[in-house]
Amino acid sequence: MKLKTYVFSTLCFLALLSSCKKDDDNSFELVPERDRTEQQVADFDSLQNYLKTHYYNRATFAEPGDHSISEIIIKELPKDASGNYLDMPDPDNNQMLSVAVDIDNPKTTKYLDVEYQFYVLELNKGGGVNPNFPDNVRMNYDGFFPNGTTFDNSVTPIEMDLMTLIPGWREVIPNFKTAEGYVENSDGTVTFTNYGLGVMFLPSGLGYYATPKGSVPAYANLNFKFELYQTEINDHDGDGIPSYMEDLDGNKNLYDVDTDGDGVPNFLDPDDDGDRVLTKNEMTRQTYTVDTNIGEEEPVLAEGEFLRSRSNNAGILNIKTLKYVDSDEDGVWDHLQKDVKKDYSLDE
């Protein structure tokens, strides 16, 4: 799928060469990178012009129910013979996108030191839980250009790692919730209920920016319809710490957090501080046994405590966790200090 990006800089470079390669020979052409701030100004102007000249079928979603992305119909305003825009047809059933997304109040985020503005059409918030920005999600989606042409889509629900997708998805999807429930049908399919449903309108800086990707040219604004079904917390390096918790500076960019300076960001590094003691072994371990048959309830995990494993044997839960430790009480966790090397796994 075209949404995926690459984890390491080397792969990013190779992908750039591949995506810029001409079809008819072995040469390639690099697209010059523009100033991101200047490009965002141009992109935002294009976004607003699009929203002011397009409308959608609002009445379809007025009735509660599990609507789909296939029901979302976005059209351009009609024009007269001179090319001037006319009024929106059937205003009782349609609504201008500029009104629906509140064009004067765009969503904002900072990415690569640039303030980006974008828009989201929320059709259903969802009844489940919110994903974290680096989590796995199960979704349906349809990516389309402002002219309405689809450039990428899923046919059936697909599992994706938000960290491998364009940055705009990590901004939008966590603000929606997963399905409230689901039913397994006799034909093997699954029907989800009360799931997140919407459309995102992104500037190129939150998309592929200067890198052409398949049929997507450089500096293209992108739109996506989506249905959010399920999510799963990600731990990319298996160190026991959910990846979203390794965003130490809170900027939603996991690639710029590298405690030991070894070139591998913490969320991909099983030894964050480079002291040769695995991160998961620099945390204490707890085991909880819960007998649900007699009404015992699961423990509420403390701050800095994370699920390691969980099993259920005839109603007897065995829950194992890891917990941050600051053994020298200096305000820094052991797994982030190279001079603290206690291996708590040896206590088991």
Give the separation between CA 100 and CA 123, rounded to whole angstroms.
Answer: 10
Q: 202 to each of 34, 45, 99, 111, 179, how far by Cα in Å? A: 17, 12, 17, 13, 24
- State yes or no: pLDDT of 7 exceeds 80: no
For 228-241, what is the mean pLDDT? 96
Do 96 and 52 form a contact (C-beta atoms < 8 A)? yes
Q: What percent of the chain has pLDDT over 90?
A: 87
Q: Which amino acid is at 126?
A: G
- State yes or no: pLDDT of 284 exceeds 50: yes
- Pairing of β 158-161 and β 74-76: unpaired
* pLDDT on residue 223: 98
Give the separation between CA 5 and CA 210, rounded to whole angstroms.
Answer: 13
* pLDDT on residue 64: 86
In this prediction, residue 1 has a pLDDT band, given cuts at 50, 70 and 90, of: low
Q: 24 to each of 31, 213, 216, 348, how far by Cα in Å? A: 18, 17, 18, 62
Residue ranges and CATH numbers for the domains of the chain are 9-232 (3.10.50.40), 243-347 (no CATH)
Q: Phi/psi at 121 (nearest 5 deg)?
A: -100, 110
- Pairing of β 284-291 and β 316-323: antiparallel
Q: In terms of pLDDT, which residue wins out, 175 or 347?
A: 175
Give the separation between CA 247 and CA 238, rounded to whole angstroms.
Answer: 15
Angle, alpha carbons 139-219-1 (nearest 5°): 30
Query: What tokens appear for 259 in the block?
Result: 């405690």
Please list, residue by residue across 249-279, b when 16 or more beta carbons sit within 10 angstroms of its beta carbon and e when fewer do. eeebbbeebbbeeeebbbbbbebbbebebbb
In this prediction, residue 20 has a pLDDT band, given cuts at 50, 70 and 90, of: very low
- State yes or no: pLDDT of 323 exceeds 60: yes
* pLDDT on residue 210: 95
- State yes or no: pLDDT of 26 exceeds 70: no
pTM of the predicted model as reported, rounded to 2 decimal places: 0.88
* pLDDT on residue 13: 37
Q: Transcribe 166-212 into DSSP letters.
A: -HHHHHHGGGS---SEEEE-TTS-EEEES-EEEEEEE-GGGTTTTS-
- State yes or no: pLDDT of 275 exceeds 60: yes
Looking up tokens 């015992």, which residue turns up? 296
CB atoms < 10 A from the CB of 346, how many?
Answer: 7
Q: Which amino acid is at 315?
A: G
Do 114 and 37 form a contact (C-beta atoms < 8 A)? yes
Q: Is 164 exposed, middle or buried (0-12, 13-18, 19+ CB in 10 A)?
A: middle
- State yes or no: pLDDT of 288 exceeds 70: yes
* pLDDT on residue 347: 82
* pLDDT on residue 238: 95
Q: Is 239 exposed, middle or buried (0-12, 13-18, 19+ CB in 10 A)?
A: buried
* pLDDT on residue 348: 67
Question: What pairs with residue 289 in β-bridges?
Answer: 318
Q: pLDDT (tens digit, 9 = 90+) per residue, 107-148?
A: 999 999 999 999 999 999 999 999 999 999 999 999 999 999
Lowest average pLDDT, out of 24-38, 53-67, 248-262, 325-339, goes to 24-38
Closest by alpha carbon to 183, among 174, 173, 193? 193
Altogether, the residues listed in the chain come to a count of: 348
Looking up tokens 């904002």, which residue turns up? 108
Q: pLDDT (tens digit, 9 = 90+) per residue, 182-226?
A: 999 999 889 999 999 999 999 999 999 999 999 999 999 999 999
The mean pLDDT of the chain is 91
- State yes or no: pLDDT of 25 exceeds 70: no
Looking up tokens 């992305």, which residue turns up? 69
